[in-house]
């Protein structure tokens, strides 16, 4: 009897946890996007005020939180190790390999990968305008996440709990 009650509680907690994970997944993605936006804004201001790219990346890394910080660390290390390669390739390598710890989706990664192509140009005003396009994408993605979250947040929480309850009823 006690084993059934214990197993039921474990199942209910497990499914509720899964429901909470899916409910909070858009929130975590939004936080990652906002952290990248903050980093890109810092990069734009560093470019604007004549800082070298290595110095800019060092300054940006100090103010970021993980896992986004890891992307910029990888990019800076790529710059130091692989001299002669295009910045776009180095940035794309950093964003695609180190974004596995983030909640970014494929579309986010593809649009953020444009940063490497943008900062690879010589013209500073083009760099800043291009970075503003990426920031606009992030702003639109955050708006869409807020709309999605308001629609699905309670649904995922309830779905996890009710799925666990259904399994318990079926097993008993």
Q: Give the rounded percent of residues in the chain with a pLDDT score beyond 70.
A: 92
What mean pLDDT do residues 50-76 have? 76
pLDDT at 122: 63
Give the per-residue pLDDT at 162: 84
Q: What is the pLDDT of residues 32-46, one digit of tens each?
A: 888 888 888 887 777
Cis peptide before 133 (omega within 30 of 0): no
CA dist 114 and 129 (Å) reads 12
Angle (deg, nearest 10), helices 53-62 and 68-81: 150
pLDDT value, residue 28: 87
Output the six-digit token pair for 53: 């790219």
Distance of CA 11 to the CA centre of its chain: 30
Question: Would you call 168 helix, strand, or coil by DSSP?
Answer: helix
- pLDDT surpassing 70 at residue 124: no
Query: Cα separation of 31 and 19, whole Å?
Result: 19
Dump pLDDT digits (tens) for 128-162: 777 778 888 888 888 988 888 888 888 888 888 88
- Alpha helices of 49-123 — where are they, by DSSP H? 53-62, 68-81, 87-98, 106-112, 114-119
Q: Residue 132 and residue 135: Cα distance in Å, rounded?
A: 5
- Is residue 165 scored above 70 in pLDDT? yes
Rounded CA-CA distance 84/20 in Å is 46
| Interval 76-122: pLDDT, tens | 787 777 766 677 777 777 787 777 778 887 887 888 877 777 776 66
Helix axes 68-81, 2-48, angle to 10 degrees: 50
Q: How many CA atoms lie within 13 A of 127 on its CB side?
A: 21
- Residue 83's pLDDT is what? 66
């Amino acid at each position: 009897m006690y084993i059934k009650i214990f197993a039921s509680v474990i199942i209910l907690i497990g499914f509720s946890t899964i429901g909470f994970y899916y409910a909070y997944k858009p929130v975590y993605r939004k936080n990652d996007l906002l952290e990248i936006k903050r980093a890109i804004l810092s990069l734009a201001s560093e470019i604007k005020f004549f800082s070298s790219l290595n110095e800019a990346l060092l300054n940006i890394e100090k103010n970021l939180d993980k896992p986004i910080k890891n992307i910029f660390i990888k990019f800076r290390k790529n710059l130091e190790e692989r001299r002669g390669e295009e910045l776009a390739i180095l940035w794309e390598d950093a964003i695609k390999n180190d974004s596995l710890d983030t909640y970014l989706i494929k579309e986010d990664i593809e649009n953020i990968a444009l940063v490497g192509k943008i900062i690879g140009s010589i013209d500073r005003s083009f760099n800043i305008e291009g970075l503003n396009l990426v920031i606009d994408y992030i702003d639109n993605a955050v708006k869409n996440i807020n709309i999605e979250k308001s629609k699905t947040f309670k649904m995922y929480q309830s779905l996890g709990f009710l799925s666990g309850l259904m399994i318990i009823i079926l097993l008993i």
